[in-house]
Amino acid sequence: MDIVESKVKDQLDVFALREQFPVLARRVHDEKPLVYFDNAATAQRPLKVIEAMDDFYRRYNANVHRGVHQLSVEASEQFELARDSVRRLLNADSVREVVFTRGTTEAVNLVAQAYLRPRLEEGDEILITHMEHHSNIVPWQMLCEQTGAVLKVAPINRQGELLVEELASMINERTKLIGMVHVSNALGTINPVEEVCRIAKKHDVPVLVDGAQATPHMAVDVQALGCDFYCISAHKMYGPTGIGALWARESILEDMPPWQGGGEMITRVSFEGTTYNDLPHKFEAGTPNISGAIGFGKAVEFLEETGYEGIVWQEERLLEYATERMQAIDGLEIIGTAKHKGPVVSFTLEGAHPNDIGTIVDHYGVAIRTGHHCAMPVMQFFDVPATARVSFAPYNIRNEIDIFLEALGKARDMLA
């Protein structure tokens, strides 16, 4: 089956969008068109990102914030422009509030170690939700081991929705931080972050949001959300791997001690003592991922040019169509049926293990994710060892869903 779809210019020109992603033209396994449905694991990169990173290495590769020479000045300029793009993406007040990290995981670890650790006493509590990615569980567990604090988990329902009232009732004077995912990678659930932040504020408890799966799909305004920390990864939102950001309010960051020591994060070093650099550099020890940051900035520009309106429109259509068609399949169960959902469909199919489904549909050119999706407590809650998951990006089209469903049918016939 070939990939065809009519253009709908008003909202989004999907074909023009696809043109920007060279990998989508690839053919796999005996010339089958690639159907890339593993966007929640990592999205593809548009030319704009690839070319900007290439351009950096070809024309002005140099270290940042160090040299007086022209290349270093250009590299520093582009690096800081990228930071401003991330600031715009999150509607942050100032670039001083945007710290580049290796990704969401590192951002969470930074907050755990530099913000929360010095404030924790034995018996204090950290509250997270049952649908967190391992990256928003394990750093807190490690912190609990280090300090004697206790990890508490707010429950979810069978649809995969957070029980906000239960969460609210679990907040007490020992609660020192709430960590929650904005959009669940395993279930697709979009959480009511604003509501949780409002509740947390009444108790004076800071909220950290794992936004890795949110920025690819929706406009995020950290000020409107009312959170205290927001963590993102570039590669989920069409940028490169190995770079992400932590946003936190300036007053909080000012109060935090540095996390890692090294170059870049200092203003003066002697053996008697060291003074630390200003925000955000205080938290960026060592030569940063310069090309990554530049690519990250271009990914933000890509999202701005494409527009969230069109992205949401296309993704909602795909989600609706896939859900409708998949629900009609005998023995197929969709895991995660929240009312507010991102473009993710996790599922199990009777008589077919997710691993085998993944291998078989791959042979028909369809790339999907199978396994625990780095959210093993979610698998335990739904009592499944693993799920298969399709996740969409705005460059995906309905016809690809048909190809996937045909391949899924073959998988089922083969394994039956």
Partner 1 sequence: MALDKLYQQVILDHNRSPRHYGRLEGATHSARGHDALCGDDILVELRVADGKIQEAAFSGEACAITTASASMLMDWLVGRSRSEVALEHAHFAQLLDDPELPDRPELGAINHLRAVSGFPARVRNTLLPWRATLQALERQQ
Binding region for partner 1 (CB under 8 A) = 30, 353-356, 359-360, 363, 370-372, 376, 379, 384-386, 414-415
Give min distance, CB of 99 to partner 1, in A.
Answer: 31
Taking the least distance from each CB to partner 1, the nearer of 128 and 379 is 379
* Cβ nearer to partner 1, comparing 97 with 132: 132
Residue with tokens 């590769």: 61
A 10 A CB-CB count for 262 gives 11
In the bound complex, what is the minimum distance in angstroms from residue 376's beta carbon to partner 1?
7
Local structure of 222: helix, strand or coil: helix
Query: Closer CB to partner 1, residue 147 or residue 370?
Result: 370
CA atoms within 13 A on the CB side of 10: 1
Q: Is 27 helix (H, G, I), strand (E, B) or coil?
A: strand
Q: Which is nearer to partner 1, 299 or 390 (CB)?
A: 390
| 272 versus 383: smaller Cβ distance to partner 1 | 383
Report how far residue 50's alpha carbon sits from residue 245's, in angstroms, rounded to the nearest whole number: 19
Nearer to partner 1, 92 or 375 (CB): 375
Question: Cβ distance 47 to 239 under 8 Å?
Answer: no
| Number of other CB atoms surrounding residue 53 within 10 Å | 21
Long-range contacts of residues 301-304, Cβ cutoff 8 Å, at least 24 apart: 301/48, 301/85, 302/20, 302/46, 302/48, 302/49, 302/238, 303/89, 303/215, 303/216, 303/237, 303/238, 304/88
Catalytic residue among 144, 197, 227, 374: 374
CB of 372 to partner 1, least distance (A): 6
Helix 70-90, helix 290-306: angle, nearest 10: 40
Question: What is the torsional sign of CA 47, 49, 52, 57?
Answer: negative
Residue number, 132 or 161, with CB nearest to partner 1:
132
Residue that the structure tokens 């509607």 belong to: 91
Closest CB 386 distance from partner 1, rounded Å: 3
Nearest to 97 by CA among 228, 200, 201, 285: 228
Distance CA 318, CA 400 (A): 10
In whole angstroms, the minimum distance from the beta carbon of 407 to partner 1 comes to: 11
Question: Cα dihedral angle (332, 336, 340, 342), rounded to 10 degrees?
Answer: -80
Least distance to partner 1, CB of residue 406, Å: 14
- In sequence order, what are the beta bridge partners of 174? none
402 φ, ψ to 5°? -60, -45
374 is annotated as an active-site residue? yes
Give the nearer residue to partner 1 in terms of CB position, either 48 or 410: 410
195 to 106, 142, 201, 225, 247: CA distances (angstroms): 26, 28, 10, 8, 19
Task: Please give the Cα distance from 203 to 196 (Å, whole number).
Answer: 11
Catalytic residues: 374
